[in-house]
Structure 1
């Protein structure tokens, strides 16, 4: 089986992560792993607990594994774009509940990725049935938390800002660099 390079797209809600994941997958003619939490919350409601976040985290990992196998089986480009990882689960858990399950923390250490794309909060917040933080202060707080996490871990990362077109260009450039570094 070919080794799959994984690029994670993270950041606060409504920063274009899913749009960027889809665009990058199209550009590289591969797949992207969607965010499991959206499906879960749409089915189970938005009144969630810390235990629900653990269920969501495990669902995200299973979904990522499914998409990794699909990329391998379909002989796509050996890259998978991942919309959300355990860093997102950690931030979400700690921000909402003030704690994070050890399963999530242990998985952060064990799972390996080849690059992170951090989506900036410079896009306008767009309301949908799942989003919780329309105000600027929590968006800035969450963005700072993500940035601090990435600064203090060893995997290369890049800040993605600007219009959707500018984000796509910057993300492609960063992804190409990540793929060169991981050879």
Structure 2
């Protein structure tokens, strides 16, 4: 059962966009994939939770986290086979772990935690909260952006993940991200 949360082996460089809601992760994921003529892994939780909201008018519950993690890894493992040198991930299981702990008072399912820590990526881009917050059906913490940003940053620091902080407008973020990915490709 747990195999479905594990990454398949690949020599592709894997990049994760990581940070609080409404900080430009999806926009940047699309831009980077286009720049590198590759693919990007969308955030499975968005589709899953939007469907849940549309059908039941319910938001995320603890029982949703393992299906979300499974769906995320299924997408990643499928798309890594189609990637061209670089796979851009709009999220990863470590982000799901952060949300689990932030929303459910420090609780994270042991299976989710195990694979959030075991799955590896070459670089994280931590997206800062200096872009306007955009409301939608799923976003619900506009007043907690600073607290959530610190939670994400502390998680990367705690687990010794290699990351670059992205600040500024879309073009500045894109240029910074490309410069760091190019360094990885050159090494």
TM-score (norm. length: structure 2): 0.88
Asked if 2 retains the 8 angstrom alpha-carbon contact of 1:156 and 1:178, the reply is no
1:109 counterpart (98, 109, 117): 117
**Is 1:89 matched up with 2:96?**
yes
Residue deviations 1:23-42 (CA, integer Å, cap 9, x gap): 00011110000000111011
Deviation at 1:109, TM superposition (A): 2.6
Q: Which runs of 5+ in 1 are unaligned?
A: 72-76
**Is 1:24 matched up with 2:32?**
yes
Counterparts of 1:127 and 1:118, CA distance in 2: 21
Matches within 5 A, 1:1-183: 3-45=11-53, 46-71=58-83, 77-98=84-105, 99-135=107-143, 138-180=144-186, 183=187
Counterparts of 2:44 and 2:24, CA distance in 1: 16
SS in 2 for 1:154: coil
Deviation at 1:103, TM superposition (A): 1.0
Deviation at 1:149, TM superposition (A): 1.4
Counterparts of 1:161 and 1:26, CA distance in 2: 20
Deviation at 1:2, TM superposition (A): 6.3
Deviation at 1:56, TM superposition (A): 0.7
Deviation at 1:155, TM superposition (A): 3.4
- Alignment correspondent of 1:74: none
Residue deviations 1:47-78 (CA, integer Å, cap 9, x gap): 2210111211111111111111222xxxxx21
SS in 1 for 2:147: helix
TM-score (norm. length: structure 1): 0.89
Q: Which runs of 5+ in 2 are unaligned?
A: 1-8
RMSD: 1.5
Counterparts of 1:152 and 1:174, CA distance in 2: 22
